[in-house]
Amino acid sequence: MRLKPMQTKQGFKTQQGFSLVELMTASALSLVLVAGVATIYMGSRQTYNARDELSTMQENARSAINALTKHLEHAGYTTPAHLPLAKAFYVAGDTVPVSKSCGGGADSLVINPVNLVQTDDNNAASGTGDTISVVFYADASLGVDCANSATPASCQVASAPNPDYSRVYNSFYVDSVGGMPNLFCAGSRTSTAIPVAEGVEAMQFAYGLDQNDDGTVDTYLDATAVKAASRWYQVRTIKASVLVRSREPVFNAAEARNYTLLETNYNRNDRYQRTVHTAVIYLRNLAVYEGGA
């Protein structure tokens, strides 16, 4: 009897590894994939940041325009008594009456001019643009300055021994806090100016004049031209333009850009995003105002 030789079955095939070329190819493809994902992520993040900053800038611009509109439109309010007011704007050469009381001695400083600024043009090189200051008389219906500080009843036109002490002044200008530009309000009833809108980097104003008293604005001039022509009494509207900056840098690298506020150009070369916003403010009190030059 012949015995068959024992045969062993191969349960598994011999495993074969990747070649060096295949490993290098796979690694390269992985790097390309990771780089693509990273690029998409960074792009999406930058887009999100830009949109977030843009939304914030638009909100800050609305706050600035609303604050300017709310308080500048009070210019020239002379109460139902129509008290005389030479100008509805505080400009260079004007005197601000200062009194610690309205006669009774119990009121705090009635008009505090320490933080007030005059209505003036500033060259774009200054970086912050124009300043503006308006004047009106305080009574029971309107006696609060832009910092929300009220005029005491004894200092309002119905009670004050001198109507000059019933005047309220509101000034607006641009300044920085911790490197962040802000629109500031300085009220004559307040000892400290307060920021009212963040990110406002510069502003410009033009004044609409009704030169023939037909109820229509004929031309827009800057403060220097209005003052030179002694035509503050013809001002009926204010065109306000603000340059608003993002809180954080948005662009990957500095970009040179030019921004035009009315007729003034501002050049910037950095990574911040900016927008320009313009509005016309109608001075309803001056539409029927008959003052002096």
What separation in angstroms does the CA of 291 have from each of 49, 101, 175, 230, 231? 51, 27, 32, 11, 10
| Neighbouring residues of 190: CB distance < 8 A, sequence distance ≥ 6 | 112, 115, 145, 147, 149
Positive or negative, the Cα torsion across 195, 196, 199, 203?
A: negative
Dist. CA 235–CA 285, nearest whole Å? 11
| Structure tokens belonging to residue 47 | 């887009």
Could you report the per-residue pLDDT of 68-83, keeping only the tens digit for each?
A: 999 999 999 999 888 8
Residue 109 has pLDDT above 60, yes or no: no
Could you report the per-residue pLDDT of 252-284, keeping only the tens digit for each?
A: 899 999 999 999 999 999 999 999 999 999 999
Residue 20 has pLDDT above 80, yes or no: no
Q: Output the pTM of the full model.
A: 0.80
**pLDDT at residue 17, as a whole number:** 61
Dist. CA 285–CA 109, nearest whole Å? 27
Reported as a pLDDT band with limits 50, 70 and 90, residue 155 is confident
Could you report the per-residue pLDDT of 236-245, keeping only the tens digit for each?
A: 999 999 999 9
**Phi/psi at 144 (5° precision):** -115, 135
Give the 3-state secondary structure percentages of the chain, helix then strand then coil, rounded to 5. Answer: 25, 30, 45
Three-state SS for 217? Answer: coil
* Residue 163 or 219, more confident: 219
* Amino acid letter, residue 235: V
Could you report the per-residue pLDDT of 124-149, keeping only the tens digit for each?
A: 555 789 999 999 999 999 989 998 88
Reported as a pLDDT band with limits 50, 70 and 90, residue 201 is very high
**pLDDT at residue 43, as a whole number:** 65
Q: Domain coordinates of the chain in residue numbers?
A: 44-288
**pLDDT at residue 223, as a whole number:** 94
